[in-house]
Amino acid sequence: MSTPLNPASEEAVVAALEDFISKMEEAAPNLYDRNYITFFEENPSPKNYGETADAEGKAAYEARLGQPFEDLLQNMEGARWQGEEESPYTGKDLGITYPVFSAETLVERANLAREEWERSSPDERRACLVLALKNFEARFFEVAHATMHTTGQGFMMAFQAAGPHAADRSAESLLLCYDAVTQNDTASLWEKNMGKITLQLEKTWHTYPYGISLAIGCSTFPTWNTLPGVFASLMAGSPVIVKPHPKAVLPLALAVACIQDALDVCGFEPEVCQLAPDTAAEPLAKQLAEHELVKIIDYTGGAAFGEYLETLPGKILFTEKSGINAAIIHSVQNLDEVLGNLAFSICLYSGQMCTAPHHILIPAEGVHTPEGLVPFDEVARRYAAAVDSLAQNPKAGPFVLGAIQNKATLERLGLLKGKGKELLDHKQVAHPQFEGARILSPLVLEADESQYDQIAHEIFGPAVLVVKAQDLDACLAMARRMAVEKGALSGAVYTTDEELEEEIAYALNSAGIPVSFNLTGPVYMNQNAAFSDYHVTGGNPAGNGSIGDVTFVLRRFFRVGNKFGNLRGRNQ
Protein backbone atom coordinates (compact mmCIF):
# COMPACT_ATOMS: atom_id res chain seq x y z
CA MET A 1 0.00 0.00 0.00
CA SER A 2 1.17 3.53 -0.73
CA THR A 3 1.98 5.39 2.47
CA PRO A 4 1.25 9.14 2.26
CA LEU A 5 3.53 11.32 4.32
CA ASN A 6 2.29 12.56 7.66
CA PRO A 7 3.60 16.13 8.02
CA ALA A 8 3.20 15.86 11.80
CA SER A 9 5.74 13.08 12.04
CA GLU A 10 9.29 14.12 11.22
CA GLU A 11 10.50 10.54 11.71
CA ALA A 12 7.96 9.24 9.18
CA VAL A 13 9.03 11.87 6.68
CA VAL A 14 12.71 11.00 7.05
CA ALA A 15 12.03 7.25 6.84
CA ALA A 16 9.87 7.65 3.73
CA LEU A 17 12.51 9.82 2.07
CA GLU A 18 15.30 7.38 2.86
CA ASP A 19 13.23 4.48 1.56
CA PHE A 20 12.35 6.28 -1.67
CA ILE A 21 15.91 7.46 -2.29
CA SER A 22 17.13 3.92 -1.65
CA LYS A 23 14.71 2.64 -4.31
CA MET A 24 15.96 5.32 -6.70
CA GLU A 25 19.55 4.31 -6.12
CA GLU A 26 18.67 0.67 -6.74
CA ALA A 27 17.00 1.65 -10.02
CA ALA A 28 19.81 3.98 -11.14
CA PRO A 29 22.01 1.27 -12.76
CA ASN A 30 19.04 0.38 -15.00
CA LEU A 31 18.19 3.97 -15.83
CA TYR A 32 19.53 3.74 -19.38
CA ASP A 33 18.31 0.20 -20.10
CA ARG A 34 14.81 1.52 -20.90
CA ASN A 35 13.21 -1.43 -19.14
CA TYR A 36 10.19 -1.34 -16.85
CA ILE A 37 10.68 0.84 -13.78
CA THR A 38 7.98 2.43 -11.67
CA PHE A 39 7.88 4.08 -8.27
CA PHE A 40 4.16 4.80 -8.11
CA GLU A 41 1.29 2.33 -8.28
CA GLU A 42 -0.99 3.06 -11.26
CA ASN A 43 -3.93 0.95 -10.05
CA PRO A 44 -6.15 3.10 -7.81
CA SER A 45 -7.54 0.10 -5.97
CA PRO A 46 -8.12 0.19 -2.19
CA LYS A 47 -5.45 -2.52 -1.92
CA ASN A 48 -2.86 -0.01 -3.11
CA TYR A 49 -4.11 3.24 -1.63
CA GLY A 50 -6.51 2.37 1.18
CA GLU A 51 -10.28 2.03 1.40
CA THR A 52 -11.02 5.73 1.87
CA ALA A 53 -8.47 7.33 -0.49
CA ASP A 54 -10.83 7.93 -3.41
CA ALA A 55 -13.68 9.30 -1.27
CA GLU A 56 -11.26 11.59 0.57
CA GLY A 57 -9.72 12.81 -2.68
CA LYS A 58 -13.12 13.52 -4.20
CA ALA A 59 -14.25 15.35 -1.06
CA ALA A 60 -11.06 17.41 -1.04
CA TYR A 61 -11.67 18.40 -4.67
CA GLU A 62 -15.31 19.30 -4.05
CA ALA A 63 -14.39 21.38 -1.00
CA ARG A 64 -12.31 23.61 -3.27
CA LEU A 65 -15.20 24.53 -5.56
CA GLY A 66 -16.17 28.17 -5.28
CA GLN A 67 -13.23 28.94 -2.99
CA PRO A 68 -9.88 30.74 -3.31
CA PHE A 69 -6.92 28.36 -3.62
CA GLU A 70 -4.96 29.12 -0.47
CA ASP A 71 -2.46 26.25 -0.35
CA LEU A 72 0.39 28.15 -1.96
CA LEU A 73 3.33 29.40 0.11
CA GLN A 74 3.77 32.53 -1.99
CA ASN A 75 3.79 36.16 -0.95
CA MET A 76 0.24 37.30 -1.77
CA GLU A 77 1.05 41.01 -1.80
CA GLY A 78 -0.28 42.50 -5.03
CA ALA A 79 -2.29 39.41 -6.02
CA ARG A 80 -5.52 39.60 -8.01
CA TRP A 81 -7.74 36.58 -7.36
CA GLN A 82 -9.15 35.19 -10.59
CA GLY A 83 -10.19 31.89 -12.16
CA GLU A 84 -12.08 30.64 -15.20
CA GLU A 85 -12.09 26.82 -15.10
CA GLU A 86 -15.19 24.93 -16.23
CA SER A 87 -16.02 21.23 -15.90
CA PRO A 88 -16.65 19.53 -19.27
CA TYR A 89 -18.80 17.04 -17.35
CA THR A 90 -21.14 19.40 -15.50
CA GLY A 91 -20.82 22.47 -17.72
CA LYS A 92 -20.45 24.56 -14.59
CA ASP A 93 -17.66 26.92 -13.55
CA LEU A 94 -15.49 25.51 -10.79
CA GLY A 95 -15.49 28.92 -9.12
CA ILE A 96 -11.93 28.47 -7.83
CA THR A 97 -9.79 31.59 -7.83
CA TYR A 98 -6.01 31.80 -7.86
CA PRO A 99 -3.53 34.59 -7.07
CA VAL A 100 -2.50 36.35 -10.28
CA PHE A 101 0.74 38.36 -10.26
CA SER A 102 2.54 40.45 -12.84
CA ALA A 103 5.33 38.83 -14.83
CA GLU A 104 7.83 41.24 -13.30
CA THR A 105 6.79 40.30 -9.75
CA LEU A 106 7.10 36.57 -10.47
CA VAL A 107 10.54 36.92 -12.05
CA GLU A 108 11.78 39.23 -9.29
CA ARG A 109 10.71 36.76 -6.59
CA ALA A 110 12.23 33.83 -8.47
CA ASN A 111 15.49 35.73 -8.72
CA LEU A 112 15.48 36.52 -4.99
CA ALA A 113 15.01 32.81 -4.21
CA ARG A 114 17.58 31.68 -6.77
CA GLU A 115 20.96 31.83 -5.03
CA GLU A 116 20.33 29.59 -2.01
CA TRP A 117 18.74 26.88 -4.18
CA GLU A 118 21.43 27.19 -6.85
CA ARG A 119 24.21 26.82 -4.25
CA SER A 120 22.66 23.81 -2.52
CA SER A 121 24.19 20.41 -3.15
CA PRO A 122 22.69 17.91 -5.61
CA ASP A 123 21.93 15.58 -2.70
CA GLU A 124 20.05 18.33 -0.86
CA ARG A 125 18.01 19.16 -3.95
CA ARG A 126 17.28 15.50 -4.62
CA ALA A 127 16.03 14.90 -1.09
CA CYS A 128 13.77 17.95 -1.26
CA LEU A 129 12.32 16.94 -4.62
CA VAL A 130 11.74 13.37 -3.46
CA LEU A 131 9.74 14.83 -0.58
CA ALA A 132 7.75 16.85 -3.13
CA LEU A 133 6.96 13.65 -5.06
CA LYS A 134 5.84 11.92 -1.87
CA ASN A 135 3.64 14.92 -1.06
CA PHE A 136 2.19 14.66 -4.57
CA GLU A 137 1.55 10.92 -4.16
CA ALA A 138 -0.54 11.64 -1.07
CA ARG A 139 -2.82 13.80 -3.25
CA PHE A 140 -3.18 11.50 -6.28
CA PHE A 141 -6.94 11.11 -5.88
CA GLU A 142 -7.59 14.80 -5.42
CA VAL A 143 -5.39 15.48 -8.44
CA ALA A 144 -7.38 12.87 -10.40
CA HIS A 145 -10.72 14.55 -9.72
CA ALA A 146 -9.21 17.97 -10.43
CA THR A 147 -7.82 16.70 -13.72
CA MET A 148 -11.07 14.99 -14.68
CA HIS A 149 -13.09 18.18 -14.17
CA THR A 150 -10.66 20.53 -15.91
CA THR A 151 -9.46 18.41 -18.85
CA GLY A 152 -12.40 16.08 -19.46
CA GLN A 153 -10.33 12.90 -19.06
CA GLY A 154 -12.17 9.86 -17.76
CA PHE A 155 -11.44 9.11 -14.12
CA MET A 156 -9.09 6.17 -14.73
CA MET A 157 -6.99 8.12 -17.23
CA ALA A 158 -7.07 11.19 -14.98
CA PHE A 159 -5.80 9.15 -12.04
CA GLN A 160 -3.08 7.30 -13.93
CA ALA A 161 -1.80 10.03 -16.26
CA ALA A 162 -2.05 12.99 -13.88
CA GLY A 163 -0.85 11.10 -10.82
CA PRO A 164 1.39 8.00 -10.96
CA HIS A 165 2.51 8.38 -14.57
CA ALA A 166 3.27 12.09 -14.16
CA ALA A 167 5.14 11.33 -10.94
CA ASP A 168 7.15 8.55 -12.62
CA ARG A 169 8.04 10.88 -15.51
CA SER A 170 9.12 13.49 -12.95
CA ALA A 171 11.19 10.91 -11.05
CA GLU A 172 12.79 9.94 -14.36
CA SER A 173 13.80 13.56 -15.03
CA LEU A 174 15.01 13.89 -11.45
CA LEU A 175 17.16 10.76 -11.69
CA LEU A 176 18.58 11.67 -15.11
CA CYS A 177 19.49 15.16 -13.97
CA TYR A 178 20.94 13.99 -10.65
CA ASP A 179 23.11 11.51 -12.54
CA ALA A 180 24.23 14.21 -14.96
CA VAL A 181 25.18 16.83 -12.37
CA THR A 182 27.04 14.29 -10.19
CA GLN A 183 28.81 12.30 -12.90
CA ASN A 184 32.16 14.07 -12.30
CA ASP A 185 33.91 14.07 -8.94
CA THR A 186 33.48 17.42 -7.25
CA ALA A 187 37.24 17.54 -6.60
CA SER A 188 40.37 15.71 -7.73
CA LEU A 189 44.14 15.93 -7.50
CA TRP A 190 45.59 16.50 -10.97
CA GLU A 191 49.23 15.48 -11.43
CA LYS A 192 51.49 15.84 -14.45
CA ASN A 193 55.02 14.39 -14.44
CA MET A 194 57.38 16.95 -15.98
CA GLY A 195 60.67 15.13 -15.40
CA LYS A 196 62.40 16.80 -12.48
CA ILE A 197 59.14 18.01 -11.00
CA THR A 198 55.58 16.82 -10.78
CA LEU A 199 52.99 19.51 -11.34
CA GLN A 200 50.10 19.22 -8.94
CA LEU A 201 46.80 21.08 -8.98
CA GLU A 202 43.58 20.55 -7.13
CA LYS A 203 40.59 20.88 -9.43
CA THR A 204 36.92 21.26 -8.52
CA TRP A 205 33.81 21.26 -10.68
CA HIS A 206 30.37 22.66 -10.10
CA THR A 207 27.19 22.79 -12.17
CA TYR A 208 25.01 25.87 -12.44
CA PRO A 209 21.69 26.44 -14.16
CA TYR A 210 21.46 28.91 -17.02
CA GLY A 211 18.84 30.98 -15.21
CA ILE A 212 15.19 31.08 -14.29
CA SER A 213 13.04 28.34 -15.81
CA LEU A 214 9.51 28.80 -17.15
CA ALA A 215 7.09 25.89 -17.64
CA ILE A 216 4.02 26.60 -19.79
CA GLY A 217 1.31 23.98 -19.30
CA CYS A 218 -1.45 22.77 -21.62
CA SER A 219 -5.16 22.24 -21.04
CA THR A 220 -5.34 18.49 -21.71
CA PHE A 221 -2.44 16.91 -19.77
CA PRO A 222 -1.38 19.62 -17.31
CA THR A 223 0.77 17.51 -14.97
CA TRP A 224 2.02 14.72 -17.28
CA ASN A 225 3.41 17.17 -19.81
CA THR A 226 4.61 19.89 -17.43
CA LEU A 227 6.09 18.30 -14.31
CA PRO A 228 9.02 16.43 -15.96
CA GLY A 229 10.50 19.75 -17.07
CA VAL A 230 9.76 21.34 -13.71
CA PHE A 231 11.61 18.59 -11.80
CA ALA A 232 14.50 18.59 -14.29
CA SER A 233 15.01 22.33 -13.91
CA LEU A 234 14.68 22.24 -10.14
CA MET A 235 17.22 19.40 -9.92
CA ALA A 236 19.57 21.44 -12.11
CA GLY A 237 19.30 24.31 -9.60
CA SER A 238 16.90 26.63 -11.39
CA PRO A 239 14.00 28.40 -9.76
CA VAL A 240 10.86 27.57 -11.77
CA ILE A 241 7.78 29.57 -12.66
CA VAL A 242 4.85 27.29 -13.57
CA LYS A 243 2.34 28.95 -15.90
CA PRO A 244 -0.72 26.66 -16.25
CA HIS A 245 -3.36 26.93 -18.95
CA PRO A 246 -6.15 29.16 -17.54
CA LYS A 247 -8.70 26.38 -18.13
CA ALA A 248 -6.65 23.72 -16.28
CA VAL A 249 -5.00 25.38 -13.30
CA LEU A 250 -6.01 23.19 -10.37
CA PRO A 251 -3.94 20.05 -11.15
CA LEU A 252 -0.74 22.12 -11.42
CA ALA A 253 -1.73 24.30 -8.45
CA LEU A 254 -1.88 21.14 -6.33
CA ALA A 255 1.49 19.96 -7.68
CA VAL A 256 3.17 23.32 -7.03
CA ALA A 257 1.73 23.40 -3.51
CA CYS A 258 3.34 19.97 -2.90
CA ILE A 259 6.69 21.28 -4.15
CA GLN A 260 6.45 24.44 -2.06
CA ASP A 261 5.62 22.43 1.07
CA ALA A 262 8.73 20.31 0.49
CA LEU A 263 10.92 23.37 -0.08
CA ASP A 264 9.63 24.90 3.14
CA VAL A 265 10.19 21.72 5.19
CA CYS A 266 13.73 21.45 3.80
CA GLY A 267 14.54 25.04 4.73
CA PHE A 268 14.42 26.64 1.29
CA GLU A 269 12.42 29.61 0.12
CA PRO A 270 9.10 28.19 -1.23
CA GLU A 271 9.16 30.69 -4.09
CA VAL A 272 11.92 28.65 -5.69
CA CYS A 273 8.84 27.21 -7.43
CA GLN A 274 5.94 29.58 -8.10
CA LEU A 275 2.50 29.14 -9.63
CA ALA A 276 1.74 31.81 -12.23
CA PRO A 277 -1.96 31.62 -13.14
CA ASP A 278 -3.35 33.98 -15.77
CA THR A 279 -6.55 34.48 -17.76
CA ALA A 280 -7.40 34.21 -21.44
CA ALA A 281 -8.00 37.95 -21.54
CA GLU A 282 -4.71 38.84 -19.83
CA PRO A 283 -2.16 36.13 -20.69
CA LEU A 284 1.26 36.07 -19.03
CA ALA A 285 3.17 33.58 -21.15
CA LYS A 286 4.71 36.05 -23.63
CA GLN A 287 5.76 38.51 -20.93
CA LEU A 288 7.40 35.76 -18.91
CA ALA A 289 9.05 34.11 -21.92
CA GLU A 290 10.50 37.39 -23.17
CA HIS A 291 11.95 38.44 -19.79
CA GLU A 292 15.73 38.63 -19.94
CA LEU A 293 16.18 36.58 -16.73
CA VAL A 294 14.08 33.69 -18.02
CA LYS A 295 16.55 31.42 -19.81
CA ILE A 296 14.85 28.00 -19.94
CA ILE A 297 11.34 27.39 -21.32
CA ASP A 298 9.30 24.18 -21.36
CA TYR A 299 6.21 24.44 -23.55
CA THR A 300 3.35 22.13 -24.49
CA GLY A 301 0.63 23.43 -26.77
CA GLY A 302 -0.31 24.58 -30.26
CA ALA A 303 2.18 25.05 -33.05
CA ALA A 304 1.65 28.81 -33.52
CA PHE A 305 2.76 29.82 -30.01
CA GLY A 306 5.54 27.24 -30.07
CA GLU A 307 6.89 28.72 -33.29
CA TYR A 308 6.81 32.19 -31.71
CA LEU A 309 8.84 30.88 -28.75
CA GLU A 310 11.38 29.46 -31.20
CA THR A 311 12.05 32.98 -32.48
CA LEU A 312 13.12 34.30 -29.07
CA PRO A 313 16.89 34.80 -28.85
CA GLY A 314 18.92 33.51 -25.93
CA LYS A 315 16.41 30.91 -24.72
CA ILE A 316 16.92 27.20 -24.12
CA LEU A 317 13.67 25.74 -25.35
CA PHE A 318 11.92 22.39 -24.90
CA THR A 319 8.73 22.18 -26.96
CA GLU A 320 5.95 19.74 -27.65
CA LYS A 321 3.70 21.12 -30.38
CA SER A 322 1.02 19.63 -32.59
CA GLY A 323 1.62 16.88 -35.14
CA ILE A 324 -0.04 14.47 -37.56
CA ASN A 325 0.10 10.88 -36.42
CA ALA A 326 -0.51 8.19 -39.02
CA ALA A 327 -1.32 4.49 -38.69
CA ILE A 328 -0.62 2.34 -41.77
CA ILE A 329 -2.45 -0.97 -42.31
CA HIS A 330 -0.71 -3.18 -44.89
CA SER A 331 -1.19 -6.80 -43.80
CA VAL A 332 -2.48 -8.35 -40.58
CA GLN A 333 -3.06 -11.65 -38.82
CA ASN A 334 -6.46 -10.61 -37.44
CA LEU A 335 -8.14 -7.58 -38.99
CA ASP A 336 -10.83 -7.20 -36.33
CA GLU A 337 -8.20 -7.08 -33.54
CA VAL A 338 -6.26 -4.42 -35.42
CA LEU A 339 -9.33 -2.30 -36.14
CA GLY A 340 -10.45 -2.66 -32.53
CA ASN A 341 -7.06 -1.47 -31.31
CA LEU A 342 -7.11 1.56 -33.62
CA ALA A 343 -10.74 2.30 -32.72
CA PHE A 344 -9.80 2.40 -29.05
CA SER A 345 -6.80 4.60 -29.87
CA ILE A 346 -8.98 7.29 -31.44
CA CYS A 347 -11.80 6.99 -28.89
CA LEU A 348 -9.42 7.24 -25.92
CA TYR A 349 -10.01 10.70 -24.42
CA SER A 350 -11.96 11.65 -27.56
CA GLY A 351 -8.84 11.95 -29.72
CA GLN A 352 -7.44 14.75 -27.54
CA MET A 353 -4.14 12.95 -26.95
CA CYS A 354 -1.17 14.38 -28.84
CA THR A 355 -0.20 10.83 -29.89
CA ALA A 356 -3.63 9.72 -31.17
CA PRO A 357 -3.87 8.35 -34.76
CA HIS A 358 -6.06 10.75 -36.73
CA HIS A 359 -4.91 9.56 -40.17
CA ILE A 360 -5.37 5.84 -41.04
CA LEU A 361 -3.49 5.12 -44.29
CA ILE A 362 -4.45 2.03 -46.31
CA PRO A 363 -3.28 0.83 -49.75
CA ALA A 364 -5.94 1.14 -52.45
CA GLU A 365 -6.04 -2.62 -53.03
CA GLY A 366 -6.90 -3.24 -49.39
CA VAL A 367 -5.35 -5.21 -46.56
CA HIS A 368 -3.80 -8.68 -46.75
CA THR A 369 -5.11 -11.20 -44.20
CA PRO A 370 -4.77 -15.00 -43.80
CA GLU A 371 -8.27 -15.27 -45.30
CA GLY A 372 -7.32 -13.22 -48.35
CA LEU A 373 -7.31 -9.59 -49.49
CA VAL A 374 -9.93 -7.40 -47.80
CA PRO A 375 -10.84 -4.47 -50.11
CA PHE A 376 -10.22 -0.91 -48.98
CA ASP A 377 -13.93 -0.04 -48.82
CA GLU A 378 -14.64 -2.98 -46.52
CA VAL A 379 -11.71 -2.15 -44.23
CA ALA A 380 -12.89 1.46 -43.95
CA ARG A 381 -16.46 0.35 -43.24
CA ARG A 382 -15.38 -2.16 -40.59
CA TYR A 383 -13.12 0.42 -38.92
CA ALA A 384 -16.01 2.90 -38.67
CA ALA A 385 -18.20 0.11 -37.25
CA ALA A 386 -15.53 -0.69 -34.63
CA VAL A 387 -15.38 2.98 -33.59
CA ASP A 388 -19.17 3.18 -33.37
CA SER A 389 -19.45 -0.06 -31.40
CA LEU A 390 -17.00 1.11 -28.75
CA ALA A 391 -18.34 4.65 -28.51
CA GLN A 392 -21.95 3.52 -28.16
CA ASN A 393 -21.23 0.81 -25.59
CA PRO A 394 -22.83 2.27 -22.44
CA LYS A 395 -20.48 0.33 -20.14
CA ALA A 396 -17.31 1.50 -21.91
CA GLY A 397 -17.94 4.36 -24.33
CA PRO A 398 -18.44 7.37 -22.01
CA PHE A 399 -15.54 6.33 -19.77
CA VAL A 400 -13.11 5.76 -22.65
CA LEU A 401 -14.20 8.91 -24.50
CA GLY A 402 -14.11 11.18 -21.48
CA ALA A 403 -15.36 14.67 -22.30
CA ILE A 404 -14.26 17.35 -24.74
CA GLN A 405 -12.14 19.88 -22.90
CA ASN A 406 -12.79 22.97 -25.02
CA LYS A 407 -15.98 23.97 -26.83
CA ALA A 408 -13.81 25.40 -29.61
CA THR A 409 -12.71 21.85 -30.44
CA LEU A 410 -16.26 21.08 -31.59
CA GLU A 411 -16.34 24.18 -33.77
CA ARG A 412 -13.08 23.22 -35.49
CA LEU A 413 -14.31 19.70 -36.14
CA GLY A 414 -17.25 21.10 -38.08
CA LEU A 415 -14.79 22.33 -40.73
CA LEU A 416 -13.68 18.75 -41.43
CA LYS A 417 -16.93 17.49 -42.87
CA GLY A 418 -16.28 18.76 -46.38
CA LYS A 419 -12.92 17.00 -46.63
CA GLY A 420 -14.10 13.45 -47.19
CA LYS A 421 -16.89 10.92 -47.56
CA GLU A 422 -18.71 10.47 -44.28
CA LEU A 423 -18.48 6.93 -42.92
CA LEU A 424 -19.64 7.74 -39.38
CA ASP A 425 -21.10 10.96 -38.05
CA HIS A 426 -20.78 12.32 -34.53
CA LYS A 427 -23.34 11.08 -32.03
CA GLN A 428 -24.10 12.35 -28.56
CA VAL A 429 -22.96 9.90 -25.89
CA ALA A 430 -24.68 9.93 -22.51
CA HIS A 431 -22.67 9.69 -19.31
CA PRO A 432 -24.39 7.78 -16.48
CA GLN A 433 -23.14 10.20 -13.81
CA PHE A 434 -23.15 13.57 -15.56
CA GLU A 435 -26.19 14.62 -17.51
CA GLY A 436 -25.24 16.95 -20.34
CA ALA A 437 -21.53 16.04 -20.32
CA ARG A 438 -19.74 17.28 -23.43
CA ILE A 439 -19.25 13.88 -25.10
CA LEU A 440 -19.42 13.05 -28.82
CA SER A 441 -18.49 9.85 -30.62
CA PRO A 442 -15.77 10.28 -33.29
CA LEU A 443 -16.46 11.43 -36.83
CA VAL A 444 -14.97 9.03 -39.40
CA LEU A 445 -14.31 10.29 -42.95
CA GLU A 446 -12.87 8.60 -46.02
CA ALA A 447 -10.37 10.57 -48.11
CA ASP A 448 -7.80 10.04 -50.87
CA GLU A 449 -4.07 10.79 -50.98
CA SER A 450 -4.78 13.15 -53.91
CA GLN A 451 -6.42 15.47 -51.34
CA TYR A 452 -3.10 15.89 -49.53
CA ASP A 453 -3.27 19.68 -49.26
CA GLN A 454 -6.76 19.46 -47.76
CA ILE A 455 -6.14 16.68 -45.28
CA ALA A 456 -2.49 17.05 -44.22
CA HIS A 457 -3.36 19.05 -41.12
CA GLU A 458 -3.52 18.28 -37.44
CA ILE A 459 -6.91 17.02 -36.28
CA PHE A 460 -7.59 17.52 -32.58
CA GLY A 461 -10.59 15.87 -31.01
CA PRO A 462 -12.98 13.04 -31.94
CA ALA A 463 -12.41 12.71 -35.68
CA VAL A 464 -10.33 10.51 -37.97
CA LEU A 465 -9.57 10.26 -41.70
CA VAL A 466 -9.29 6.87 -43.43
CA VAL A 467 -7.06 7.65 -46.41
CA LYS A 468 -6.71 5.58 -49.59
CA ALA A 469 -3.16 5.59 -50.97
CA GLN A 470 -1.80 3.87 -54.07
CA ASP A 471 0.27 1.26 -52.21
CA LEU A 472 2.44 0.73 -49.14
CA ASP A 473 5.20 2.96 -50.51
CA ALA A 474 2.66 5.75 -51.03
CA CYS A 475 1.40 5.31 -47.45
CA LEU A 476 4.95 5.59 -46.11
CA ALA A 477 5.71 8.58 -48.30
CA MET A 478 2.61 10.38 -47.10
CA ALA A 479 3.25 9.65 -43.42
CA ARG A 480 6.85 10.78 -43.80
CA ARG A 481 5.94 13.94 -45.70
CA MET A 482 3.35 14.96 -43.11
CA ALA A 483 5.90 14.46 -40.33
CA VAL A 484 8.63 16.43 -42.11
CA GLU A 485 6.30 19.30 -42.98
CA LYS A 486 3.97 19.41 -39.98
CA GLY A 487 5.46 17.09 -37.36
CA ALA A 488 4.44 13.76 -35.83
CA LEU A 489 4.62 12.42 -32.28
CA SER A 490 3.75 8.79 -32.93
CA GLY A 491 3.16 6.29 -35.71
CA ALA A 492 1.88 2.75 -36.19
CA VAL A 493 2.39 0.16 -38.90
CA TYR A 494 0.67 -3.19 -39.36
CA THR A 495 2.49 -5.67 -41.58
CA THR A 496 3.05 -9.42 -41.44
CA ASP A 497 6.12 -9.13 -43.67
CA GLU A 498 9.00 -9.05 -41.19
CA GLU A 499 11.48 -8.36 -43.99
CA LEU A 500 9.76 -4.99 -44.56
CA GLU A 501 9.94 -3.86 -40.95
CA GLU A 502 13.53 -2.60 -41.02
CA GLU A 503 12.95 -0.50 -44.15
CA ILE A 504 9.64 0.82 -42.83
CA ALA A 505 11.27 1.73 -39.51
CA TYR A 506 14.07 3.57 -41.30
CA ALA A 507 11.68 5.47 -43.57
CA LEU A 508 9.64 6.74 -40.61
CA ASN A 509 12.29 6.91 -37.86
CA SER A 510 14.53 9.12 -40.01
CA ALA A 511 11.65 11.61 -40.10
CA GLY A 512 11.51 11.57 -36.30
CA ILE A 513 8.51 9.22 -36.05
CA PRO A 514 8.61 6.49 -33.38
CA VAL A 515 6.82 3.43 -34.77
CA SER A 516 4.63 0.88 -33.01
CA PHE A 517 4.46 -2.34 -35.04
CA ASN A 518 1.45 -4.66 -34.99
CA LEU A 519 -0.10 -3.60 -31.70
CA THR A 520 -3.25 -5.41 -30.64
CA GLY A 521 -4.82 -6.00 -27.26
CA PRO A 522 -4.43 -3.57 -24.34
CA VAL A 523 -1.41 -1.59 -25.61
CA TYR A 524 -1.86 1.38 -27.91
CA MET A 525 0.26 3.70 -30.03
CA ASN A 526 -0.95 6.63 -27.87
CA GLN A 527 0.88 5.42 -24.79
CA ASN A 528 4.37 6.34 -23.60
CA ALA A 529 5.88 4.67 -20.54
CA ALA A 530 8.22 6.49 -18.16
CA PHE A 531 11.79 5.15 -17.98
CA SER A 532 11.25 3.39 -21.30
CA ASP A 533 9.68 5.45 -24.10
CA TYR A 534 11.02 8.82 -25.14
CA HIS A 535 8.23 11.36 -25.56
CA VAL A 536 8.83 13.60 -28.60
CA THR A 537 11.94 12.89 -30.65
CA GLY A 538 12.97 16.39 -31.67
CA GLY A 539 13.38 15.03 -35.21
CA ASN A 540 10.48 16.93 -36.79
CA PRO A 541 8.42 20.10 -36.20
CA ALA A 542 6.23 18.45 -33.55
CA GLY A 543 8.75 19.42 -30.88
CA ASN A 544 12.40 19.62 -29.90
CA GLY A 545 12.42 18.34 -26.32
CA SER A 546 12.54 14.58 -25.81
CA ILE A 547 11.28 13.66 -22.33
CA GLY A 548 13.29 10.73 -21.01
CA ASP A 549 16.40 11.50 -23.08
CA VAL A 550 19.58 12.83 -21.45
CA THR A 551 19.42 15.93 -23.66
CA PHE A 552 16.24 16.85 -21.79
CA VAL A 553 18.32 17.47 -18.67
CA LEU A 554 21.82 18.25 -20.00
CA ARG A 555 20.74 21.48 -21.67
CA ARG A 556 19.53 22.94 -18.37
CA PHE A 557 22.92 23.49 -16.74
CA PHE A 558 26.57 24.17 -17.47
CA ARG A 559 29.67 22.81 -15.74
CA VAL A 560 32.48 25.06 -14.59
CA GLY A 561 35.87 24.11 -13.12
CA ASN A 562 38.37 25.77 -10.75
CA LYS A 563 42.10 25.11 -10.24
CA PHE A 564 44.02 25.54 -7.00
CA GLY A 565 47.78 25.69 -7.01
CA ASN A 566 48.13 25.58 -3.22
CA LEU A 567 46.31 22.19 -3.00
CA ARG A 568 44.19 23.70 -0.18
CA GLY A 569 45.68 21.61 2.62
CA ARG A 570 46.39 18.44 0.66
CA ASN A 571 49.61 16.60 1.48
CA GLN A 572 52.43 17.59 -0.87
Residues 152-172: tens digit of each pLDDT: 999 999 999 999 999 999 999
> Which residues are registered as beta bridge partners of 516?
492
Q: Would you state the pLDDT for residue 413?
A: 85
Residue 483 DSSP SS3: helix
Which residues make Cβ contacts (< 8 Å) with residue 475, sequence separation at least 6?
A: 326, 328, 330, 361, 362, 363, 469
Q: Does residue 436 lie within any of the structural domains? A: yes
What's the number of domains the chain is made of?
Answer: 2
Q: Would you state the pLDDT for residue 570?
A: 57
Residues 313 and 443 in one domain: no
Q: Does residue 523 lie within any of the structural domains? A: no
Q: Would you state the pLDDT for residue 45?
A: 95
- Could you report the per-residue pLDDT of 46-97, keeping only the tens digit for each? 999 999 999 999 999 999 999 999 999 999 999 999 999 999 999 999 999 9
Q: Would you state the pLDDT for residue 487?
A: 97
Of the candidates 437, 405, 424, 490, the one whose C-alpha atom is nearest the C-alpha of residue 463 is 424
Per this entry, what is the length of the chain? 572
Q: Does residue 305 lie within any of the structural domains? A: yes
Q: Does residue 441 lie within any of the structural domains? A: yes
Averaged pLDDT, 328-341: 98
Averaged pLDDT, 560-569: 84
Residues 306 and 349 in one domain: no
Quick one: pLDDT band at residue 247, thresholds 50, 70, 90? very high
Has residue 8 got a pLDDT over 90? no
More confident residue, 2 or 482: 482
Q: Does residue 228 lie within any of the structural domains? A: yes
- Look up residue 326 and give its DSSP letter: E
Residues 287 and 333 in one domain: no
Averaged pLDDT, 222-242: 98
Residues 350 and 312 in one domain: no
Residues 210 and 300 in one domain: yes
> Which residues are registered as beta bridge partners of 193?
198
Taking the complete model, does pTM exceed 0.85, yes or no? yes
Residues 394 and 448 in one domain: yes
The enclosing domain of 98 has a CATH number of: 3.40.605.10
Q: Does residue 229 lie within any of the structural domains? A: yes
Averaged pLDDT, 304-321: 96
- Work out whether the CA dihedral 303, 308, 313, 316 comes out positive or negative: negative
Residues 360 and 503 in one domain: yes
Averaged pLDDT, 254-275: 97
pLDDT, averaged across the chain: 94
Residues 97 and 243 in one domain: yes
Averaged pLDDT, 170-177: 97
Residues 381 and 268 in one domain: no
- Could you report the per-residue pLDDT of 525-535, keeping only the tens digit for each? 999 999 999 99
Q: Does residue 64 lie within any of the structural domains? A: yes
The CA–CA distances, whole Å, from 171 to 20, 369, 496 equal: 11, 43, 37
More confident residue, 375 or 14: 375
Residues 554 and 445 in one domain: no
- Could you report the per-residue pLDDT of 103-126, keeping only the tens digit for each? 999 999 999 999 999 999 999 999
Q: Would you state the pLDDT for residue 537?
A: 95
Residues 300 and 408 in one domain: no
- Could you report the per-residue pLDDT of 455-490, keeping only the tens digit for each? 999 999 999 999 999 999 999 999 999 999 999 999
Compute how many other C-beta atoms are within 10 angstroms of the C-beta atom of residue 342: 25
Which residue range(s) make up the domain with 354?
326-517
Q: Does residue 9 lie within any of the structural domains? A: no
| 407 in Cβ contact with 438 (< 8 Å) | yes
| 416 in Cβ contact with 443 (< 8 Å) | yes
The enclosing domain of 342 has a CATH number of: 3.40.309.10
Residues 149 and 107 in one domain: yes
Q: Would you state the pLDDT for residue 417?
A: 85
Has residue 3 got a pLDDT over 60? no
| 44 in Cβ contact with 139 (< 8 Å) | no
Q: Would you state the pLDDT for residue 505?
A: 97
